[in-house]
Chain A
């Protein structure tokens, strides 16, 4: 509880939050209250100076309508008068709690203390420097909206509100992190969301007891099912349109302050193969693109393993002309196929990793050198076969055809054990790898939802938006696996018809 004596309060605050260069304690006298002593405190980099000047200091200095007979400054009266008379045009809150005051200062609010008053006023003056809303960097689409989430949770909430004007849209905030006190918002549409799912999300978040949350990925690791699995059981998105579509399915979003990535739960495997752009194209093209991605996923996992399988174990399975061509390419290569493939895969990973960190101006040069040295020269020197280079390149490009970066990374790691198993056991090794992977995927759940839903377990309605993207007028229900309260998405008979048939 704060003290009536101004100096005690000031000393307490200086002791508690320090006197750093950006922490400002500004003393003043209020003419309206017989020049009563007062001070304001704020953190300079987190406030809007114009707001402090125009909506706090100026009204305070000019205010002169002191009620008759109230010349003595005593008790909480000045604070109450300022509040009741509407002196400040910014949002405000009266408080006596130090914890609330300190939290408010840390969040960029300004606190007004007046001598002999046992309470203080929290005045909203927050303004953070940050990016403006711009196009998402890793989820860009050819068509569709160009805005993306940013680091400011308020802006992100507004981006959602602009799209969904449902009265039952809810943002339930909590603060996580003993020291960072990061604002985390559980967002959902109350009339759609499954209560059990919501309860589970909240309970997992409430259990988090860490000192800091810097990004949404921290939350993800702390609440994810099967934490040892390579595969992501939650979706991250930078796209407000994707997040809103998830809300309309009955899912829950987790917004984390200071992170442009919003978490979507529950998540199923197939979501990682679906791109927001699928809904902005004709459904034929969207379906075709999904199959392209499925093939790309298969190739990214299997291409190098199949190369080893066919060249080292089962050459007889290749058409003769192709087998001869591969054999010709491998002539003079001093390494077994598996070593050749593994070394090339690792070199490719090194190039990818280096490419991420290279400064832009030299990135291109290094790429060319890398491609020429590793590619052409290695083939010319007879260290690797040209056919293997094609296989490795196909696998690498395929992994980037998968819309989700996190899933693409998981698949990058999966292909190494499959390659090793294939190298030792041929067909049996390859099948063992694929079957183990499938069984693992089947054992996973995301907040109670089987990871391979709606394919396994099979749900006919849910499959309208997995391997094929049916037209909007056919997607009458929300996916069953989300367990939404209101399954009906729209009325039937929405298929456009010529006027004569109506």
Chain B
């Protein structure tokens, strides 16, 4: 079997895409209901913690450079426990895909295609992702450069369009709910960071060169974090936390406040057009990882055997998760964020200590 190869620059662009889409609007909306004006601060804390666990995951992967997280789990814990981790990860990626897809679909069904049946939109989006998975991870990773550029463009246009409406007083007083609340509330962002942490366990073996990957991962995470944190910060300064709490998709409310010129009075169409590219990378990556997990657990060799049934499962999961906006947001508040935090923090820690106890961390690889 030929193993797909991706280069380090593509990997760098991939990580912000894995973090960006859901975090800027949906997660910010979930967090603002709990943390008010401190959302951006709590998110920053979450990212600091997230970066540590991301680096821990990459460190672990560097000890098993040609193995995916499932393969080295099997090596460390045996076939059955490793297989159970694989099943757990497959379920996580299916769920992550459904949340990611619903982020995009919510933007479309709420603001642009109110009269189109949700199931139809859902099927078309999943078909698009399926095409990406058929094309293979190399294509998806190449596409991440486009997604990254588009995400930068959204940020630039949002900042330009809303800079005249900034009211810094809206973020004051800082740590209104207390630092401890901000720290404990930061786990909500793991709904997004965990996607990157756990996907790294599958991307790492595909890297064509493995030197300086930890450094690249660190800067990719920092770049992604900066691109995201600016959103709740600006959203709070423009809209204020009370208005933010009332929106399902906060970023769309923010975008509606942005007017680039009188010739572009409604900017959301352009914003969603840019947004779709990055969002698609996230969704396709989750689809791909889910497929990869099931393949490795079940020992299936051929992709197409997996992709079509999995797509059907994803249509069902996405449809039932997203057909009611409130249920979707409630699901993200509980239990999705908690599960993601448990997996994103727990799995790397668990594997790290297991590897440590089994003496697998002694062998050092140069340059990693």
Contacts and interface: CB of A to CB of B under 8 A. Distances in A.
B12 to A, nearest CB: 10
Contacts of A456: 142-143, 145-146
B121 A457 contact: no
Contacts of A442: 135, 139, 142-143
Contacts of B9: 457-458
A236 B143 CA distance: 28
Contacts, number: 76
A32 interface: no
B113 A452 contact: no
A416 interface: no
A319 B272 CA distance: 18
A445 B351 CA distance: 39
B266 A317 contact: yes
Contact of B108 (A316, A320, A428, A450): A428
B161 interface: no
B112 interface: yes
B125 interface: yes
A432 B127 CA distance: 9
B266 A316 contact: yes
B145 to A, nearest CB: 5
B276 interface: yes
Interface in A296-341: 313-314, 316-317, 319-320
B139 A439 contact: yes
B280 interface: yes
A410 to B, nearest CB: 19
A155 interface: no
B131 A436 contact: yes
Given A427-B273, A428-B113, A439 B266 contact: no
B10 A439 contact: no
A427 B113 contact: yes
Interface in A378-435: 425-429, 431-432, 435
A497 B113 CA distance: 60
B7 interface: yes
Contact of A443 (B112, B116, B135, B265): B135
A347 interface: no
B366 interface: no
B249 to A, nearest CB: 15
A437 to B, nearest CB: 11
Given A319-B263, A457-B7, A431 B276 contact: yes
Contact of B116 (A319, A425, A431): A425
Interface in B233-272: 262-266, 268-269, 272
A138 interface: no
Interface in B198-217: none
B124 interface: yes
Given A317-B266, A435-B128, A436-B128, A425 B139 contact: no
Given A427-B112, A457-B142, A439 B262 contact: no
A88 B121 CA distance: 80
B136 interface: yes
B135 A428 contact: no
A427 B111 CA distance: 11
Contact of A439 (B108, B135, B264, B268): B135
A428 B269 CA distance: 11
A438 interface: yes
B46 interface: no
Contacts of B36: none
B134 to A, nearest CB: 9
Contacts of B263: 319
Nearest to A452: B142
A438 B143 contact: yes
Contacts of B280: 435
B142 A425 contact: no
A425 B277 contact: no
Given A439-B131, A443-B135, A426 B112 contact: yes
Interface in A143-188: none
B277 A426 contact: no
A27 to B, nearest CB: 66
Contacts of B272: 427
Nearest to A316: B266
B113 A458 contact: no
B142 A426 contact: no
Interface string B76-118: 0000000000000000000000000000000010001100100
B108 A427 contact: yes
B135 A313 contact: no
Nearest to B13: A458
A450 B145 CA distance: 14
Contacts of A314: 112, 269
A428 B142 CA distance: 22
A317 B269 CA distance: 7
Contacts of A457: 7, 9-10, 142
A317 B7 CA distance: 39
Contacts of B269: 314, 317, 427
Contacts of A458: 9, 145
Interface in B137-168: 139, 142-143, 145-146
Contacts of B128: 432, 435-436
B132 A425 contact: no
Contact of A438 (B10, B121, B146, B266): B146
Contacts of A439: 131-132, 135, 139, 143
Contact of A425 (B10, B113, B131, B135): B113
B214 to A, nearest CB: 22
A305 B170 CA distance: 42
B113 A443 contact: no
Contacts of A431: 273, 276
Nearest to B273: A431
Nearest to B105: A428
A168 to B, nearest CB: 32
A427 B274 CA distance: 12
A458 B143 CA distance: 11
Contacts of B132: 439
Nearest to B136: A443
Contacts of B108: 427-428
B220 to A, nearest CB: 15
B262 to A, nearest CB: 7
Contacts of A432: 124-125, 127-128
A432 B279 CA distance: 12
A439 B141 CA distance: 10
Given A428-B116, A439-B143, 7 more contacts: A317-B269, A425-B120, A432-B127, A432-B128, A435-B280, A442-B135, A458-B145
22 contacts: A314-B112, A317-B266, A319-B263, A320-B265, A425-B120, A427-B108, A428-B112, A428-B113, A428-B116, A428-B125, A432-B127, A435-B277, A436-B128, A436-B131, A439-B143, A442-B143, A443-B139, A450-B142, A455-B145, A457-B7, A457-B10, A457-B142
